[in-house]
Amino acid sequence: MSYVSVPPNQCPNCRRTYNFHNKMLTFSCGHSQCATCTKNIVCCTCCKQKKIVPALDVATFVCAGCNRHYINHYDTVINQVRILSCGHRRMCNHGNSKCAVCAKKVKEVAIDVSMTALVCRVCITDPELPKKKAKQNAWLAWCCQWKKKKYENI
C-alpha cells in the first residue's frame, strides 16, 4: 500500500500552501482542502459530499472539553483533535456530553486530520489522499537517484 505524506499547511489535492487567498476548509468528515479545490462541497480525500464545519483560528483555539487554550495543554498529551457536532474542537479525552465553549449537548463527529497534524507537528499520512499529479523532470529524477545511492550508507 502506497502512503502519501502531506504537510498540514498544504491542500492534499493541489499541494498549494494555505494562505489568506487560498483558505483551508474543513469538512464534517475531518478532511481539509483549499477553497479553490472545493467544488459542490465534495471532499477530495473521501469523495463524499460533506458539510463544511466552522473555521478554526489557532490563535483563539480553545478546547471544547475543558475550555483551555491548546497552548495550556502542557500537562495533556494531544494525539487527536475531534470535531464536535456544534463545530468546536475537543483535544482532551473528556467524557462530558456538553461543549465547554457553547454549552450545547454534543457528540463527536470526526477527527480533524489537519488540525491534529498541526498540533502534533507531523505530516498527514493517509492511503486515501490523492496522489500528486506532477510532471517529473528526467534530470531531477537522475539527480535524486544519484544522491540516494551516494548517501544510503549513512
The pLDDT tens digits for 63-107 are 888 888 888 877 777 788 889 888 888 887 666 788 888 899 988
Residue 131 has pLDDT above 80, yes or no: no
Distance CA 94, CA 92 (A): 6
The reply to whether the predicted model has a pTM over 0.85 is: no
Instruction: Judge whether residue 13 has pLDDT over 50.
Output: yes
Find the range with the poorest average confidence among 24-33, 90-99, 128-137. Answer: 128-137
Q: No. of H helices and E strands in the chain?
A: 2, 7
> What local confidence, expressed as pLDDT, does residue 21 receive?
87
3-class SS letters over 22-67? CCEEEECCCCEEECCCCCCCECCCCCCECCECCCCCHHHCECCCCC
Cα end-to-end distance, the chain, whole Å: 27
pLDDT band at 130 (very low <50, low <70, confident <90, very high): low
Q: What is the pLDDT of residue 146?
A: 44
Q: Is the pLDDT of residue 152 over 60?
A: no
pLDDT tens track for 40-71:
788 888 888 888 888 877 777 888 888 888 88
Whether the predicted pLDDT of 4 surpasses 80: no
Q: ∠ CA(117), CA(120), CA(121), 5° rounding?
A: 75
CA separation (Å) from 2 to 30, 49, 73? 21, 25, 34
Confidence of residue 128 (pLDDT cuts 50, 70, 90): low
Predicted pLDDT of residue 59: 76
Q: Minimal CA–CA distance to 11: which of 40, 35, 27? A: 35
Cα–Cα dist 124/113, whole Å: 7
